[in-house]
Structure 1
């Protein structure tokens, strides 16, 4: 199916069908490059959410009874369908959030692999037998994994389907059903994915549902007592609120939250690679990634040369239409986020940091959401731009004098999602990586990932893990079963 025409009217996807909202309010979907409004989705009401959750709850009764082989086949059929539409889905992602088409289509080309990964995990899964230490002979004990039930998932706007498919694949593989609330900035790709799944697979109705809307729509999903498990990717502040609400319902949560990740440059680093790693860490994806290497820690011995090269590379970054292959950095995803980034740049200068490059809106590009790649120097780790997650192309370069100080600065943050270490001394690399408080540490690389590997954060960067076997385990719970094989029940009052 070709990309939809401008101002397309979209609906919720509930119980296998597209349905109108019970409310009248709609949300415009814009192309951040030029501000074009090309679609609209409903602002979901509590009644809409309840309808979706009820459909998922009803579908769970049968879905939980599917065999591993059946779920394996369903996941493979969905994977095949998404593979066939990877180019289209990538285009939709770019048209919603303004990220580079090559990145969005690159992500889309991996959706099928993610689903097949979770299919392979359940296909090779094994139970566990536990020796029973009792005085009774013949007692047998084993552990099985069971789904929670209805999963409520809320996803962000920066990599919408990438972060959805990982949750959906693990949840369905484990035997759960799914209600998805995508970001109001990027809802269309989720609806189109639902349409593809419906048209090209036989996934039962109600197993996957999509309700669009603002934050209050997500709150209605979080507060629904029939949601048995919650999964969220987004800001730490929203994650705290979700965890608080989930706690009232005793609903387990997986939270992949924010970061203020250190990208550490030691004197032995291959300097050109290190500079490339800094550019990749903060300017790729316009800095709109939770693992962004937004704090660039540079040893005093190489500080001046590194900054010169970093500034030179930033000045060569080509801003433009994210649909064009030669573009290297697109716009900020929407105007309120642009205003947030601009505010932090002003705060940085007001607190004494110096802009070595960028900081302005280019005057030769359309729309209102572009900002130059921005490099701050003279940054102290106590400054606001070194403490807060900005979620934009703003790098804070911080000088350090030795390894101990680098580790101290790296860990002096409320976040703990990711880090980079650049050195040709592998003993130093391992030593530093082992001491950094972060869920992912890259050595001489940055912002790479693998479906088979877990990702998640320490401290304010979240709870739980996505990806790998750990990601599957987040969506299932253990049941311990005891079997008496003697045929006789011991008298509990008889002394031995």
Structure 2
């Protein structure tokens, strides 16, 4: 097996482990066995990235050429769209349609940063002195560790890799050990494009071993991580030892506020999509419905009726509307959340169980689940479940809706549904979340920043700020007519 990419070569692990078996979450069948990196492999990858950054040809590559390389990756993604979408569906369980949308979005991200790569030459600062030229310029940070999650492996990698390369950094990629297959394919495209050796490196393995070795490596300058809060805290602590730069996206518990004056059917339709897309395994999932009291009962009833009709199945089947959870271990975690919610007094409206269809028995499926009569202090309302589970709270006034929506330690995303334009803007302005949708849910564009408030993380991805995460800012001050001056007592003007 040669699934590690180090210093421009596909290599096996220096260790003697058997590798990791990657399972299809639809039926538990084996998809592939991949190489797992040991500490020596991580060290080799970081050393290659360090050498490529410090003394390789990448340092002299122009911003325009970096943009051309990113544009070439985008073209190859378009070429391989069908194959990559299938890989993503098999590996994560999402539908083939969702996998195809992911590839389209990834190609768009690379195109966006290809266009942005050479558009910022810095700025000139007017010092008020005609003999001084003062410039603020940007330089790459250095060696970047890019650690990505299992739910959107390809998409989340693109959000990190494209701006890191556009800025001129070198990288070591560590995808989730659960879903590494599309990341391997993307690195093969990088290899096909022809980046200098050591610029892009790939190591595979578990977070506790491979990830920890990468985070703690003294020659890594920046760590970009998307994943859970507990791991994010550990990364912050480890990064502090060497004062590494960090960019963290740590999830959310996202409110979806529905006022009575909105279009009822449309709001129900989007509430289903917000909560159950990719079986709720989305950091921005609308897992907290907050519904105005006058429509609460009818809204919950219709939501449940339509949730019960969602077709579970193989992501490769075009009739499937919702796939499995990513692993049996993750399903067990979601089921534990459900059990606690029942014990805490939340009312189970529908779901909360595995499907009865025998054709789904070997997969990691869970029926879409709705809890009503929820209080904001319940664990099911406050904790990120990351599964097909939505809670419903009710409100009577606009101020109460805002208070409930902001009653979370996270702050990634949220939405407001109303036909009152003034109310929409008031509520959106009051929500303490990094993205707020009005009469919509889930869309993003590469040009707009993504990230959260509070425990949702540090820094931003996408947009110009996503590029800035991977750049250092330098001030260059040039005195064009230096003249001797006596700065200290006893100083001598030698020109006199």
Task: Please show how residues 25-424 of structure 1 align to structure 2 within 5 Å.
Answer: 25=17, 26-60=19-53, 61=55, 62-132=57-127, 138-199=131-192, 201-215=193-207, 216-364=209-357, 365-424=360-419
In structure 2, what is the Cα distance between the partners aligned to 1:24 and 1:345? 40
After the TM superposition, list the runs of 4 or more consecutive aligned residues in structure 1 that deviate by more than 4 angstroms: none
Q: Does 1:431 align with 2:423?
A: no
In structure 1, what is the Cα distance between the partners aligned to 2:259 and 2:20? 48
Q: Which residue of structure 1 aligns with residue 444 of structure 2?
A: 449
In structure 2, what is the Cα distance between the partners aligned to 1:186 and 1:137? 58
Deviation at 1:380, TM superposition (A): 0.7
Contact 2:225/2:232 (8 A) holds in 1: yes
**Count of residues in correspondence between the two structures:** 484
Deviation at 1:40, TM superposition (A): 1.3
- 1:12 pairs, out of 4, 7, 28, with 4
In structure 1, what is the Cα distance between the partners aligned to 2:107 and 2:419? 36
Contact 2:253/2:382 (8 A) holds in 1: yes
In structure 1, what is the Cα distance between the partners aligned to 2:378 and 2:7? 49
TM-score scaled by length of structure 2:
0.95
Contact 2:66/2:114 (8 A) holds in 1: yes
Contact 1:10/1:40 (8 A) holds in 2: no
Deviation at 1:122, TM superposition (A): 2.1
In structure 2, what is the Cα distance between the partners aligned to 1:231 and 1:316? 39
Range with bigger deviation, 396-405 or 59-68: 59-68
In structure 1, what is the Cα distance between the partners aligned to 2:486 and 2:216? 46
Structure 1 runs not aligned, ≥5 long = 1-8
Deviation at 1:108, TM superposition (A): 0.6
**SS of corresponding position for 1:454:** coil
In structure 2, what is the Cα distance between the partners aligned to 1:100 and 1:63? 38
Contact 1:33/1:366 (8 A) holds in 2: no
**SS of corresponding position for 2:117:** helix
In structure 2, what is the Cα distance between the partners aligned to 1:285 and 1:195? 26
In structure 2, what is the Cα distance between the partners aligned to 1:316 and 1:490? 83
Contact 1:87/1:109 (8 A) holds in 2: no
Deviation at 1:366, TM superposition (A): 3.5
User: 1:128-172 CA distances to partner (integer Å, 9 max, x unpaired)?
Assistant: 111225xx6512210110001111010001010101012111000
Contact 1:75/1:173 (8 A) holds in 2: yes
Q: Which residue of structure 2 aligns with residue 3 of structure 1?
A: none
In structure 1, what is the Cα distance between the partners aligned to 2:391 and 2:276? 12
User: 1:273-300 CA distances to partner (integer Å, 9 max, x unpaired)?
Assistant: 1111211111111000000111100111
Contact 1:139/1:483 (8 A) holds in 2: yes
Structure 2 runs not aligned, ≥5 long = 492-496
In structure 2, what is the Cα distance between the partners aligned to 1:296 and 1:438? 15
Contact 1:81/1:197 (8 A) holds in 2: no
TM-score scaled by length of structure 1:
0.95
User: 1:243-279 CA distances to partner (integer Å, 9 max, x unpaired)?
Assistant: 1111211111111111000000111111111111211
In structure 1, what is the Cα distance between the partners aligned to 2:404 and 2:105? 35
Contact 1:29/1:40 (8 A) holds in 2: yes
Q: What root-mean-square deviation, in Å, do the aligned CA atoms of Structure 1 and Structure 2 show?
A: 1.3
In structure 1, what is the Cα distance between the partners aligned to 2:15 and 2:9? 17
Contact 1:138/1:486 (8 A) holds in 2: yes
In structure 1, what is the Cα distance between the partners aligned to 2:424 and 2:485? 59
Contact 2:67/2:116 (8 A) holds in 1: no
Range with bigger deviation, 331-340 or 482-491: 482-491
